[in-house]
Structure formats: C-alpha cells, structure tokens
Amino acid sequence: MQQEWKNLDADERCAAIIAIYPKTKGTGKEIAHALSQQFRVTITRNAVISHYNRHASKLVEVPLTGTPNRETKSRAAAGQKKPVAPIPAKPKKPSGLLLRSGGHFAQPVLVKPAATPPVLAQPLTAPEPLRLKLYQLERNQCRWPVGGERENTLFCGVGTEPQASYCWCHRKMSVGIGSRAERDAIPRRMVA
Ligand SMILES: [Zn+2]
C-alpha cells in the first residue's frame, strides 16, 4: 500500500530516500525525480535538499552528490557510491621544488662553470713567502708583493735565479698577464 509523501514523517521520508537512493546517482534532482515517480506527486529538488539539510545525520549513508558543500562532506563517508565524475583539472599547485626556489620557474641553475681557475692561481704551489719589506730584499730575492700596502708592502722574498726579479713561481705568474708586448718584454729583460 502506497503511502502519500505528504503524510510521511521525517523518519519515513528519510527511509524513503534511503530506499530509493541506490536507483539514483545521488543528486538532489534524481532523488526528487525518483521520489516523485514513486509517490506520484511532485517532489522538488529543493525539497529533497532541504530535507537532507534538516536530517543530515540520518542520511549520512546516502549522501547527496552534486551540491558542493554536501559533496565534500559526504565523499569521505560514502565514497564507494559516489559516481566518479571526472574532476576538472585544478590549477596546478606549485611543486615543492618550485616553492623552494621562491616561486620562480626553472631558471637555469646558475652553476658556476667549474670555476675556471684564475690565471694567477695556477701555480698554487707557490713557495711560502718570506714577507719581507722592500729594504730587506736582497738582489736575488723575489719582489712579488704578497701583502701590505705602500711602504709596508711585503714581498715574497724567495730566492730567484740570478738577475731575475721573481722566484720561479712568481715569474710564471707574471707571464701571461698584461699585453703581449709586456709578456715579451719579460724574457728580454731577463736575457739582458
Ligand atoms: Zn716569489
């Protein structure tokens, strides 16, 4: 015997919704449509939704889908019944990597090109400088400044070849800097 919808109390209406729910996709519209057919009265989508709102605790097993606030609440509770609608692509969140880089898109990582050693640093095996002041330098001691300023400039002081201004190491370092004419001048001066 078919009861009339309008005579049902809240619990009976909940029961009716629960009974009919599996035949629907769980949207207010479909539930309303199914109930309307079953009870042969017009039951609106809004009526269904407001019934859900008033009796949410009794309807957690048959969550409404298709209404945003319902959907999020119900999905965890009854994910198995929810029709899997393709989730619209969300704007991508920046990746952790992106966040760590301060939000900038992959800039070429500024890897310093293998730190081409400065020319002067090539003979790193420079002898330990004696750090002599100018007046302390003998003729055969290297005059390569290694520290200090002006009259307090300190010089390498390592022994040199006869007539050479610099020790073997600083002579190498002196070659290759300056213009070609200057570079050529060094051997000539040494020869002289
Ligand atoms: Zn030297």
Residue 168 Cα to ligand 1 middle (Å)? 7
Q: What is the DSSP letter of 65?
A: B
Domain contains 83: no
Q: Measured in angstroms, how far is the CA atom of residue 156 from the centroid of ligand 1? A: 4
- Residue that terminates a domain, selected from 62, 77, 92: 77
Give residue for tokens 């002289």: 192
Token output for 112:
């310093």
Measured between alpha carbons, how far is residue 157 from residues 72, 75, 119, 123 in Å? Answer: 81, 83, 22, 17
CA pair distance 103, 95, nearest whole angstrom: 9
**Is the residue at 31 inside a domain?**
yes
pLDDT for 122-177, tens place per residue?
545 678 899 999 999 998 999 999 999 888 999 999 999 888 899 988 888 887 55
Give yes or no: residues 11 and 71 share one domain. yes
When pLDDT is averaged across residues 42-68 and rounded to a whole number, the result is 89
For the chain, strand residue ranges (E) read 132-133, 145-147, 154-155
Q: Domain limits at 20?
A: 5-77
Domain count, the chain: 2
Compute and round to an integer the Cα radius of gyration of the chain.
45
Asked if the model's pLDDT at residue 7 lies above 60, the reply is yes
Is the pLDDT higher at 71 or at 42? 42
Ligand 1 centre and the CA of 160: distance in Å? 8
- pLDDT 10s digits, 106-121: 556 666 666 655 555 4
Instruction: Answer yes or no: do 15 and 69 share one domain.
Output: yes
